[in-house]
Amino acid sequence: MKTFVCIKRVPDTSEAEVKVDASGKDVDSSKFSFDINDADNYAVEEAVLIKEAQGGTVQVVCMGPADADVMIRMALAKGGDSALRIDDPRIDARDPLLSAKALAAAIKGQGEEFDLVLTGCMSNDDGNMATGVALAEELGVPHAAMVKKLEVEEGKIKAHRELEGGIIEVVEVVLPAVVTIQTGINEPRYAPIRGIRQAQKKELKVLKIEDLGLGEDEVSAAASLVEMQGFYIPEVVSTAEIIEGEPEEKGEIMAEKLVKGGLL
């Protein structure tokens, strides 16, 4: 099985305060901590599990700056064989269709036929849920999105798609195909530092637009068919009754409201 897995470096904004920067079109990321996108991490594990079960290779593809090398090496340490990093600020990475175009070019540029491309179904920062499926179209192969369980058979896969309400839709897709992976499909392993060091020996090629065989006019912001006009912090319009006091008092006050207000 020749598998590609596409990963993205994203900030963890679950606790961080997100502020719009001076340009109005980006956020101030100076205090963010970055790591591999959650769903992509599960995709890496899935790719490695497939390799362990079926043999073959796993190539890691990432569009990101040099800071992403650490997480790429981690993916290699877990079982990836080689990596490609697309590092070109001219690419409008915020447009998922252009990201897909660049990723597809990187994969096609490897020359070999592939069997499977895995990627996370959604990124924590942009949340478009679009890159993976667009990538399938760019590569000219079928796909299945939001997969919670993947069974690899001869020449095809059975993908369990997790739908609303927890229902599973089982689809059979002929390989080669693209599958976007949902979190919780497996338990990602730990990559010990020793493994990361050894992974330094594995190939990590850095690519620019020209290396992808693309023109700047195909992937730059000018090529995007949509234009983001500005970020703004939404007003948190809350009609909630705010409970005041010391933290412990708040707990007690709420308890009283629940009981006395007949809310239980």
Q: Under rule CB under 8 A, which residues in 25-84 are in contact with other proteins?
A: 27, 30-33, 35, 70, 78
Number of residues that bind other proteins (CB under 8 A): 103
Asked whether position 12 contacts other proteins by CB under 8 A, the answer is yes
Which distant-in-sequence residues (6+ apart) come within 8 Å of 42 by Cβ? 120, 181, 182, 183, 184, 185, 186, 188
- Spatial CA neighbour of 233 closest among 30, 20, 29: 20
Asked whether position 158 contacts other proteins by CB under 8 A, the answer is yes
Tokens 């990432």 map to which residue? 62
User: Which range in 54-62, 106-114, 120-128, 210-218 contacts other proteins by CB under 8 A?
Assistant: 120-128
DSSP string computed for 61-130:
EEES-GGGHHHHHHHHHHT--EEEEE--TTS-TTSHHHHHHHHHHHHHTT-S--SEEEEES--TTT----
The two structure tokens encoding residue 232: 């703004």
- Spatial CA neighbour of 61 closest among 3, 12, 127, 121: 3
In angstroms, give the least distance from the CB of 221 to other proteins: 10
Asked whether position 208 contacts other proteins by CB under 8 A, the answer is no
Asked whether position 129 contacts other proteins by CB under 8 A, the answer is yes
In angstroms, give the least distance from the CB of 111 to other proteins: 22
CB-CB contact of 121 with 7 (8 Å): no
User: Which range in 1-9, 24-32, 53-61, 202-210 contacts other proteins by CB under 8 A?
Assistant: 24-32
Q: How far apart are CA 219 and CA 215, in angstroms?
A: 7
Which of 138, 150, 207, 209 lies at the binding interface for other proteins (CB under 8 A)?
138
In angstroms, give the least distance from the CB of 199 to other proteins: 11
Site for other proteins in 168-197 (CB under 8 A): 168-174, 182-184, 187-195, 197
Between the CA atoms of 138, 139, 140 and 146, what dihedral angle is there, to the nearest 10 degrees? -80
In angstroms, give the least distance from the CB of 95 to other proteins: 9
Considering the complex, state which of residue 194 and residue 217 has its C-beta at the smaller distance from other proteins.
194
User: Which range in 50-58, 107-115, 138-146, 211-219 contacts other proteins by CB under 8 A?
Assistant: 138-146
Between the CA atoms of 165, 35, 30 and 122, what dihedral angle is there, to the nearest 10 degrees? -30
In angstroms, give the least distance from the CB of 62 to other proteins: 16
Site for other proteins in 89-108 (CB under 8 A): 96-97, 100
Considering the complex, state which of residue 36 and residue 86 has its C-beta at the smaller distance from other proteins.
36
Asked whether position 247 contacts other proteins by CB under 8 A, the answer is yes
Torsion region of 55: left, alpha or beta (phi above 0 gives left; psi -120 to 50 gives alpha)? left
Site for other proteins in 210-229 (CB under 8 A): 224-229
Asked whether position 142 contacts other proteins by CB under 8 A, the answer is yes
